[in-house]
């Protein structure tokens, strides 16, 4: 697969990618809108005391009554995903025998929170620092997310089958919710800046595959990440708190929690952007096609070796600019 063929892989996002990672942070921003479906509360507790992490928020976007919500800290969302990304990369390195070439050996050892290589695609994308040597700013931004329902309503059972109902195709592509307690849904946003197409694919693959969150993942902390929206622009269009308060309002207005509801919310916030004409809100078909494009891009395939090499060459070059 060469450069030419790759261009246009994600049609709906043309104009929002960089051809290679830029040391100077680009304004091009893509926000992935997720409903994190949490299958137990372990990862929402502080490890020291076991207490739930909570915050006082408005009740909804129109009702400002102070209301307690459970929070999912950005750091707790990011940590397992950054580890999973490195694990995914190691599979690519192994299958394509990358370390046969001495050039790439510098990225062979990269231990999270210990000895980051500052040259692999993970370090370049998720950020890395070596005291006195390098400081790579992350381009994937994770922020605190707030439970869809207020704490007092956590046990309220809610049926989320709207995505499944929208059309068979939508249900298959995005994952369908069955009847689950409302407490298990946390709207969340991963914002990404100045990404290449292959970094975008790598990050989405990572988010799709990561299921274990929290400290004791052998027995606790399962999460399924559902994509319910994508918006691209030259700035962040919406914050996780706004997303939660808008979706909660939608429930109160008897709307479904669906891709179409999320799209309406994103269209509203597009109007608040500095230049709305530069903002693109994805339709449900565009989300489906984008996720299909990610899934179909098989980095394990021998045909994709050039893509993996290009990803690594760009990361090496980027690493050199910050490491000297």
Q: Judged by CB, which is closer to Zn ion: 130, or 234?
A: 130
Least distance CB 129 / Zn ion (angstroms): 11
- Pairing label, strands 140-142, 185-193: antiparallel
Q: Judged by CB, which is closer to Zn ion: 107, or 223?
A: 107
Binding site for Zn ion (CB under 5 A): 110, 117, 120, 123
Least distance CB 34 / Zn ion (angstroms): 25
Q: Judged by CB, which is closer to Zn ion: 70, or 116?
A: 116
Least distance CB 47 / Zn ion (angstroms): 25
For the chain, give me the number of helices (H) and strands (E)? Answer: 10, 12
Of 269, 292, 244, the residue nearest 35 (C-alpha): 244
Q: Residue 316 has which token pair? A: 């090496």
Rounded Cα distance between 199 and 318, Å, is 13
Give the list of residues 6+ apart from residue 76 with CB closer than 8 angstroms, or none: 43, 44, 213, 214
Least distance CB 201 / Zn ion (angstroms): 18
Q: Judged by CB, which is closer to Zn ion: 278, or 323?
A: 323
State the DSSP H helix or E strand holding residue 130, giving kind and residue range, or none if neither.
strand 128-130
Least distance CB 322 / Zn ion (angstroms): 12
Quick check: helix, strand or coil at residue 115?
strand
Q: Judged by CB, which is closer to Zn ion: 109, or 292?
A: 109
Of 250, 311, 284, the residue nearest 93 (C-alpha): 311
């Amino acid at each position: 697969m060469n450069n030419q063929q790759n261009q246009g892989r994600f049609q709906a996002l043309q104009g929002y990618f960089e051809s290679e990672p830029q040391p100077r942070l680009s304004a091009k921003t893509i926000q992935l809108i997720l409903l994190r479906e949490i299958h137990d509360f372990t990862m929402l507790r502080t490890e020291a005391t076991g207490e739930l992490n909570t915050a006082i928020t408005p009740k909804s976007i129109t009702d400002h009554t102070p209301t307690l919500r459970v929070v999912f800290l950005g750091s707790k969302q990011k940590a397992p995903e950054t580890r999973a990304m490195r694990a995914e990369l190691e599979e690519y390195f192994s299958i394509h025998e990358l370390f046969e070439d001495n050039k790439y050996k510098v990225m062979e050892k990269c231990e999270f929170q210990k000895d980051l290589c500052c040259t692999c695609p993970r370090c370049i994308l998720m950020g890395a620092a070596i005291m006195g040597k390098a400081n790579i700013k992350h381009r994937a931004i994770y922020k605190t997310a707030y439970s869809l329902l207020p704490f007092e309503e956590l046990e309220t059972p809610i049926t989320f089958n709207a995505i499944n109902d929208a059309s068979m195709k939508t249900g298959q592509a995005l994952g369908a919710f069955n009847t689950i307690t409302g407490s298990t849904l946390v709207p969340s946003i991963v914002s990404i800046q100045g990404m290449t197409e292959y970094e975008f694919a790598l990050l989405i693959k990572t988010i799709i595959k990561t299921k274990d969150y929290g400290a004791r993942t052998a027995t606790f902390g399962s999460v399924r990440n559902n994509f319910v929206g994508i918006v691209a622009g030259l700035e962040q269009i919406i914050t996780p708190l706004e997303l939660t308060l808008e979706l909660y309002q939608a429930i109160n207005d008897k709307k479904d929690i669906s891709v179409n509801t999320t799209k309406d919310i994103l269209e509203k916030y597009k109007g608040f952007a500095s230049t709305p004409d530069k903002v693109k809100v994805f339709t449900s078909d565009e989300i489906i096609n984008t996720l299909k494009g990610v899934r179909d891009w098989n980095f394990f395939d021998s045909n994709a070796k050039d893509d993996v090499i290009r990803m690594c060459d760009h990361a090496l070059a980027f690493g050199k600019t910050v490491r000297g």
